[in-house]
Structure 1
């Protein structure tokens, strides 16, 4: 597939997904995950109700496996705990990140097709994790 065609397809997919998220999470935020001055991923999240909804988190493949997603998730969980808020997310059953979510205190709470619904109660979390986000722009400051 030519580069221009691939870029057009990706832009179209992003637009459709972004529109879906905006319709279903009208108070949700869309943030770019950055390392220094480089855009390395995206984060959709909604803190508007009594449950933090982690809608989507994605890193560019070159930045996966380096602990960035783990540090970001720990920071999000720490902030939710600080605000005494429960959390919720959907994750594909075959996604290995489910193990990380379990270590962060998420537990299975249902399913929706190929997705598992996971919840985390409003409970304390290691505050030192918040400080471990060095090098990333913090979406909560």
Structure 2
């Protein structure tokens, strides 16, 4: 199975206070979020399928920070962007706007966060597409 780096596009319909595992409770404004992760293990992009299942309510177990956001009633998956066969997770996260939760998805690296936020979903989607296109050239 093919793997690489992915970014989940997530919509949050209204502001929410969400407890993110050990990071504790944080306020998330309504708008668009992009979570960047890697799928380099044996299941490859199967990890992305798991995120979709959790967002749809087909799974309840939370393993990663993004699971807590995806599991919230006001959050929805809006799509994903993938860069196959590339380990560019941190470069992508650094190229996107910052989100309100430091350390989100970045417990195994020195990045500030792997979650991006913008009130405008179209603008964030364009930034994600541009970052993946540029990372694929490296």
Provide TM-score, normalisation by structure 1.
0.27
Larger Rg belongs to: 1
Q: Which has the higher contact order (CA 8 A, sep 6+)?
A: 2
